[in-house]
Amino acid sequence: MDFLVSLAPMAGIADRAYRTTARRYGADCTTSEMISAKGLTYGDEKTAALCSTAEKDAVPYGIQLFGAEPEFMQKAVIKLQEIGSNPDFIDLNMGCPVPKVTGTGAGAALMRTPETAAEIVRACVAVSHVPITVKMRIGWDLEHINALEFAQLMEEAGASALTVHGRTKVQGYSGKVNLNYIWRVKASVKIPVIGNGDISSPEEAKLMRDFTGVDGIAVGRGSYGSPWIFTQIKDYLKNGEYAPAPPIEERLEIMSQQVKLAVSLKGEHTAMREARTQCAFYLKGFPGAANFRKECSELTRFEDLEEIVGQIITQSKEIL
């Protein structure tokens, strides 16, 4: 397959508006926010809403499930098919380090119970109409790194691809990603491997590709407020150069379009409260950014955002 530059699934961040924006600016693949297998199985409306594939187009789209019990994970895969969700693949989260997830035995906790993880993969593969992939870490902690054995077990169980975040569960998002273990996983399996972690620039993406030999990368936090990073990465990997970030007015327009889409999908009340975080990402580094981010932290209406954008544009022209 061609080298894949994808958007990593991020709970509470990579909603449909975020994913749509990432696709517009070069993401080759997107994945839903993390979805509870039990919530989906029990018919929770909010959980089902996360499974929308109305955005689906030429760019592959996946739905990510999390859970600790093979029977519920299998039921969730069946449920996706029953409700007419049509992802190109289903990703199983075995890498989330958040305590409320690992505390149930799900997410990165499955790195400690590889046989259960393999049972989950087998159960999902048995009923799925699309490929089953796995998102994993390199181990629970630095004393219990089992990435190679885990990856091989997932392959044997029927996983079609792996995304490897080069940190342990205990590390969370601290410290540096370990490229060596991603390289070793890639060398130990025959299925595609996607590298993940610490990719916030085209140069870091190239380092990940060149050092590990992975089949693609998944950009997570590095895309915060910078959806154009996908195009930058692809240009750099192909040509050795890339365009700088867009000028202020264009960046603000991208931000406004993303929030406007979120409002149309979720309603103003929910979307504008979530936009408080999204806008803070976009405004990083602007002149007077701290004050504008403070204003964004109190957003309740889209017209409030339009007013802030106007103030930033006016200020930037005065500086120039």
- CA nearest to 31, candidates 14, 45, 17: 14
**196 vs 22, 99, 215, 218, CA distance in Å?**
16, 20, 11, 5
Q: Is 122 exposed, middle or buried (0-12, 13-18, 19+ CB in 10 A)?
A: middle
Burial 63-80 (b: 16+ CB within 10 A, else e): bbbbbbbbebbbbbbebb
- CA nearest to 161, candidates 122, 123, 134: 134
Distance, CA of 141 to CA of 86 (rounded, Å): 36
Contacts of 248 by beta carbon, 8 Å cutoff, 6+ apart: 286, 312, 313, 316
Coil, strand or helix at 34:
strand
- The tokens of 224 are what? 């915060």
- The tokens of 85 are what? 């969700």
Q: Is 309 exposed, middle or buried (0-12, 13-18, 19+ CB in 10 A)?
A: buried
Strands 89-94 and 132-136: parallel
- CA nearest to 42, candidates 72, 12, 82: 72
- The tokens of 161 are what? 């691809």
Of these residues, 51, 96, 279, 296, which one is catalytic? 96
279 is catalytic: no
What pairs with residue 230 in β-bridges? Answer: none
Contacts of 187 by beta carbon, 8 Å cutoff, 6+ apart: 213
Distance, CA of 227 to CA of 26 (rounded, Å): 8
Give catalytic residue positions. Answer: 96
